Amino acid sequence: MEEAEAWPILIVLVVWYSTSMSEIVLDPETAARNKHRLHINPRTMLLVLALLVLVGIGWGVQYVLLHRTTKPKNTVADTSQNSSYAQSLNDWRQKLAAAKTPQEKSAAHQGLANVESAQGNNTAALADAQAAVSSDGTSYAAYAVLAMVKMQAGDNAGAIAAYKKAAELARATGTPEGIRGASDYEIMAASVGR
């Protein structure tokens, strides 16, 4: 414990020790008869209590100032993350420009929607998720991304419908991966808004 933190405790202990080891007599006549007992004037007692209150307030303020929960913003990490998002967006835009099949276009739109959603840009993410579904209406992954974006945007009904469509398309593939995906999407649909 630091010295600055210890002085209020010391004051409290001294006052407690001095008052607990002797009887406090507020009546001057009784104090005169019993000279071996401690006599504390009521004004003195109020002064001691006021001092203790002030020490407590000072201690509380000191604690708050020393233990603030706000942290300075790490601008180096934020800049790094923003440049990482920018790089990812650039990569997905290049893949979209190079895409030849509907599946490739859908995958590129899904990637763009994921990055934009991570940035908090729900409008752009929703547009890209809808473009992914429009590019390849048979892609259960595209519907899953659309559901995620709609859920983040607060459209729970749209998210549930998209998760159900993703489950339907995933189950229709008949593959073990599709069947696992279908059960995951059904669970997600059931948990939206809870």
CB neighbour class for 165 (10 Å; exposed up to 12, middle 13-18, buried from 19):
buried
The H or E element spanning position 95 is helix 75-98
Confidence of residue 21 (pLDDT cuts 50, 70, 90): very low
Mean pLDDT is highest, among 36-50, 65-79, 81-95, 127-141, for 127-141
pLDDT bin (cut points 50, 70, 90) of residue 56 is confident
Q: Which residue has the higher pLDDT, 111 or 26?
A: 111
- Look at residue 98 in the predicted model and tell me its pLDDT: 92
What integer pLDDT is reported at residue 55 of this predicted model?
74
CA separation for the pair 109, 130 (Å, rounded): 8
Q: Tally the C-alpha atoms within 13 A of residue 104's C-alpha that lie toward its C-beta.
A: 9
Mean pLDDT within 169-191: 84
Q: Which residue has the higher pLDDT, 2 or 45?
A: 45
Q: Rounded mean pLDDT of 130-159?
A: 90
Sign of CA dihedral 118, 123, 124, 125: positive
Indicate the CATH number of 85-188 among 1.25.40.10, 3.40.50.12780, 3.30.565.10, 1.20.1440.230.
1.25.40.10
Euclidean distance between CA atoms 39 and 138, whole angstroms? 91
Dihedral angle over CA of 182, 183, 189, 190, nearest 10: 160
Q: Where are the domains of the chain?
A: 3-66, 85-188
